[in-house]
């Protein structure tokens, strides 16, 4: 017996007209008629309601009707997939929203100024070049800040004569001495950049790096050692510095001058 015939049998046994049953199930009389002649089927939720109303187990209503069972099985699978997709989409929406809020807060914080007029944005995405140093060791230095890291290009003055520079053994000994002091030419990149503002000082920390820079003007900062840097670009130069570093190492250049002309357009 098909589901339609079984539904008609149960309705008649309960002495209900199609209209009366339709009112109980909150559907139209035509819908009841369509079920009973087999044109359509009630969905699973209504079938559960019907089984409870007639006090008949659901499997008794469905038995022997393989077409309906297959249809319900497919609908259940689709429903489960739809629920899973809705959950995944909801999680993605929450994640995107959280990331959006996080980056909005970070941007807002970077634009805020303290009582001395300093802002994290003063250093983010900028490049600074050595302006003055009292040290005889350092020949040139460049600081490059992006949003997440700082790249530092240093070149030190070994103070060896031109004759000594042609002697590989002397050069190797001098390099060892400089390495023992923690001084090495080239670019070092420090990740996880953070900038705190304390009065007229930028406290810059990153993984393996810590330094304080005092603002002397809009374009000049000074570190704790008294070394001054002037702003040469309103953008980072990480990629450029690494290219320069590769060139110096590949060519075996012992001294290489990098100079930038400050430009407001940059």
Domain match, 229 and 180 both? yes
SS3 50: helix
Confidence category of residue 264, pLDDT binned at 50, 70, 90: very low
Choose the weakest-confidence range: 33-42, 44-53, 75-84, 140-149. Answer: 75-84
Closest by Cα among 145, 264, 250 to 195: 145
Say if 259 falls within a structural domain: no
Domain match, 204 and 128 both? yes
Say if 243 falls within a structural domain: yes
Query: 80 is in which domain, residue-wise?
Result: 73-111
Q: In this structure, what are the phi and psi dihedrals at residue 201, rounded to the nearest 5 degrees?
A: -125, 135
* 32 within 8 A of 21, measured Cβ to Cβ: yes
Angle (CA) 198-204-207 rounded to 5° is: 145
For 59, residues 6+ apart whose C-beta sits below 8 A from its C-beta are none
Mean pLDDT of 242-256: 75
pTM: 0.54
* 3 within 8 A of 68, measured Cβ to Cβ: yes
Domain match, 136 and 247 both? yes
Beta bridge partners of 155: 140
Domain match, 101 and 126 both? no
Domain match, 183 and 144 both? yes
Domain match, 243 and 132 both? yes
Domain match, 209 and 126 both? yes
Q: Strands, E, within 90-227: which ranges? A: 126-132, 138-145, 149-156, 186-191, 194-198, 201-206, 209-215, 220-223
pLDDT tens-digit map of 174-231: 666 655 555 577 899 999 999 999 999 999 999 999 999 999 999 999 999 999 999 9
Domain match, 48 and 127 both? no
pLDDT tens-digit map of 57-78: 877 777 656 566 566 666 666 7
Angle (CA) 78-82-86 rounded to 5° is: 175
SS3 10: helix
Domain match, 94 and 202 both? no
Domain match, 32 and 106 both? no
pLDDT at position 161? 47
Domain match, 44 and 146 both? no
Domain match, 128 and 242 both? yes
């Amino acid at each position: 017996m098909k589901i339609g015939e079984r539904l008609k049998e149960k309705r008649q046994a309960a002495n209900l007209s199609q209209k009366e049953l339709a009112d109980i199930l909150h559907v139209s009389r035509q819908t009841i008629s369509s079920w009973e002649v087999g044109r359509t089927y009630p969905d699973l939720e209504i079938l559960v309601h019907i089984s409870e109303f007639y006090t008949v187990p659901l499997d008794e209503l469905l038995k022997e009707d393989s077409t309906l069972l297959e249809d319900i099985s497919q609908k259940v699978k689709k429903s489960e997939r739809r629920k899973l997709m809705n959950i995944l989409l909801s999680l993605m929406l929450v994640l995107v929203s959280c990331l959006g809020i996080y980056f909005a807060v970070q941007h807002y914080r970077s634009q805020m100024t303290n009582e001395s007029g300093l802002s994290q944005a003063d250093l983010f995405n900028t490049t600074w070049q050595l302006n003055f140093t009292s040290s005889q060791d350092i020949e040139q230095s460049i600081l490059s800040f992006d949003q997440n890291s700082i790249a530092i290009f240093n070149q030190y003055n070994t103070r060896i004569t031109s004759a000594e520079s042609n002697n590989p053994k002397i050069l190797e000994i001098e390099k060892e001495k400089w390495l023992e002091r923690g001084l090495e030419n080239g670019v070092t990149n420090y990740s996880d950049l953070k900038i705190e503002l304390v009065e007229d000082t930028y406290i810059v920390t990153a993984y393996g790096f810590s330094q304080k820079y005092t603002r002397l003007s809009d374009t000049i900062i000074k570190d704790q050692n008294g070394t001054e840097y002037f702003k040469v670009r309103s953008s980072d130069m990480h990629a450029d510095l690494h290219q320069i570093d590769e060139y110096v190492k590949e060519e075996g250049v012992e001294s290489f001058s990098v100079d930038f002309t400050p430009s407001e357009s940059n």
